[in-house]
Amino acid sequence: MRSFRSILLTGGAGFIGSTLVRKLLEREDVERLVVLDKFTYAADRSNLTGPDQDDRFQVVEGDILDRELVTRLIQENRCSGIFNLAAESHVDRSIKNPGDFVVTNITGTANLLEVAREEEVPFLQCSTDEVYGPTPAHEKFDEGAKLKPSSPYSASKASADLLVQAAHFTYGQDVVIARCTNNYGPRQHREKLIPTLIHHALRDEPLPLYGSGQQIRDWIHVDDTSLGLIATFEKGSPNRVYHLGAKCERTNLGIARTILKQLGKPNSLISHVTDRPGHDSRYALDVRLALTSLDWRARIPFRSGFEKTVRELAAGLRAD
């Protein structure tokens, strides 16, 4: 059983990371939680308002590529585990600037793995369903599916996953990987689909949807994902991959219509724009291993969770 006594969480000021912070601090066995974040555009210190009042919590601004810093943080805090959520994660940005994704997602992960090996600290890698590429209709990928990424983003995450697995095969490191489906919830950056659509709808502007809008994603609330990451670290077998999903498939067009209905806006605001290169048609994961091995499942119903999310995001987006 891995220990939660002292955790280093990279990327903890981002969307999923800041939720994971809150869930970790709910545990009595967490004595120390250190967030290491570079505070690029996707991170926000306000995401950590509340947790920053906890005496067990510390935020450090820095880069996962800084080996001396990472080593010092692990040694000073006698870390018992690393959760790696630091990543460049926007597909559109990866198409324009793939080099940034190679540096952070691949080289950064490699650096963290080396320090984890030297300090003998268990390592959790947060990954994505996108590493498999498009899922055929009426199928779901299990953990043994072939990696076939379509974008520079998903290719960088697949590469990082392979480095994590190689660390186990070559050095015997205690590593585990969680691959997540699309997340929704509070504090999500405005460049992502749901906040973008809400932002435009509030201003009666066209809601841009790539192509037909029939791309299908499985949507999971970020609270459920965070508890899944904790369960993966706590109960996951070394070098195993676990899928975290909610079995809640929706088209992007359906998401847009749901947002417009809740905000009292007309569907005529939907605007179909030229599709982006390599846009996968569908993602769907088989989550049975997580259900049986981790005693975890997504518990927040989409309807209530999504309605609350739209209200919360809309309140913030009206103010900016």
Instruction: Choose among 185, 164, 181: nearest CA to 105.
Output: 164
Catalytic position from the list 132, 153, 242, 283: 153
Residue with tokens 């969680």: 178
Question: CA–CA distance from 248 to each of 99, 162, 298 (Å)?
Answer: 33, 28, 10
Q: Does 129 qualify as catalytic in the annotation?
A: yes
Q: Does 224 qualify as catalytic in the annotation?
A: no
Provide the token pair at 200: 């435009």
Catalytic position from the list 37, 63, 130, 218: 130
3-state secondary structure the chain: CCCCCEEEEECCCCHHHHHHHHHHHCCCCCCEEEEEECCCCCCCHHHHCCHHHCCCEEEEECCCCCHHHHHHHHHHCCCCEEEECCCCCCHHHHHHCHHHHHHHHHHHHHHHHHHHHHHCCCEEEEEEHHHHCCCCCCCCECCCCCCCCCCHHHHHHHHHHHHHHHHHHHHCCCEEEEEECEEECCCCCCCCHHHHHHHHHHCCCCEEEECCCCCEEEEEEHHHHHHHHHHHHHHCCCCCEEEECCCCEEEHHHHHHHHHHHHCCCHHHEEEECCCCCCCCECCECCHHHHHHCCCCCCCCHHHHHHHHHHHHHHHHHHC
Q: Classify burial at 280, counting beta carbons within 10 Å of its beta carbon; exposed 0-12, middle 13-18, buried 19 or more.
A: buried
Instruction: Choose among 80, 104, 79: nearest CA to 90.
Output: 104
Q: Does 174 qualify as catalytic in the annotation?
A: no
Give catalytic residues, as residue numbers. 129-130, 153
